[in-house]
Amino acid sequence: MKYQTFQPNSDLESLISCYWTLEVPAESDAQRQRIIPDGTIEMAFILGDDIKRYTSENEFIIQPRAMVLGQTIEPFYIEPTGYVNTFAIRFYPYGFANFVNMPIKNLANKETPIEFLFGEKTANELEQKIIQAINSRERIEIIENFLLDKLNKKTTIDNIVKTTIDALLATNGSASISTILKGDLSKRRQLERKFLKQIGVSPKQLGKVIRLQTALKLLLNKESEKLTDIAYKTEYFDQAHFTKDFKEFTGINPKEFLSNENMTLSTLFYK
């Protein structure tokens, strides 16, 4: 399994977290992998064999080969059908809204083929360029030229949304919305509406995901063997609240997480 990340150029670094690639040899007994929410939106190109995404215990769809994965608030399973070769762009929570006219809430909890966002002709041309590129650096150059061309010069993210996200990121998701809004509850409904349109989830849901990310990294880096310490460092009220949120977003409790073979891919991304 080979996972690599690459940084965007300076013109896009405020909107894009990173580019990443994943290669996994074909295995006859490939395991389903549980993918957990990470608070980001991703555009992905499947360059290898098809990948299944399970919609129930026994039913699945084949993921589009060029798609945008919207915000998710619950875990889901994927399973490779053979050789895995993926190139993807990971956007910051407010990043992707700068490139499309569609409300971001329409992308939540599903895969959307890029042709639905950019038109069939444009999407097909982009996909072929990505497929024919000889390496990751060339793919990054192709996608950056595409995104810079799409980028609207006028900022589409409202200041109230960006300020809230910046505050959540700065506090690892622990800041309350009331504190961020400085007690001005008249802005709360406005913020909720704008978040759903531009980010795809509510401020509270995004804060939960960001805080969970922090806890996962502490857990994976073995910074503490005690769950109470991790709960304390991530400002949960107590271990019970930490475990409840952890199970909500991963589907299992923290003790099971590290030893679960279905979490190999998610573990790789979070490390």
Q: What is the DSSP string of 122-140?
A: HHHHHHHHHHH-SSHHHHH
* Residue 153, pLDDT above cutoff 50: no
Query: Over the chain, what is the mean pLDDT?
Result: 86
pLDDT-derived band at 223, boundaries 50, 70, 90:
low
User: Residues with Cβ < 8 Å from 163, sequence gap 6 or more?
Assistant: 180
pLDDT band at 156; cut points 50, 70, 90:
low
**What are the residues facing 33 on neighbouring strands?**
78
> Quick one: average pLDDT of 105-110?
90
Q: Residue 65 and residue 33: Cα distance in Å, rounded?
A: 18
Model pLDDT, residue 258:
66
Phi and psi, residue 7, nearest 5°:
-90, 145
Reply yes or no on whether the pLDDT at 154 is more than 50: no
For 9-23, the pLDDT digits (tens) are: 988 998 899 999 999
Query: What is the token pair recorded at 47?
Result: 């360059």
What tokens were used for 206?
């995004």
Over residues 203-225, mean pLDDT: 80
Higher pLDDT, 4 or 74: 4
CB of 109 closer than 8 Å to CB of 69: no
Secondary structure (DSSP) of 172-226: TT-S-HHHHTTT-GGGHHHHHHHHHHHTSS-HHHHHHHHHHHHHHHHHHTTS-S-
Average pLDDT over residues 196-205: 84
For the entire predicted model, the pTM comes to: 0.81
How many CB atoms are closer than 10 A to CB 87? 23
Pairing of strands 76-80, 66-69: unpaired
Query: How many residues are recorded in the chain?
Result: 271
Domains present along the chain, CATH in parentheses: 2-150 (2.60.120.10)
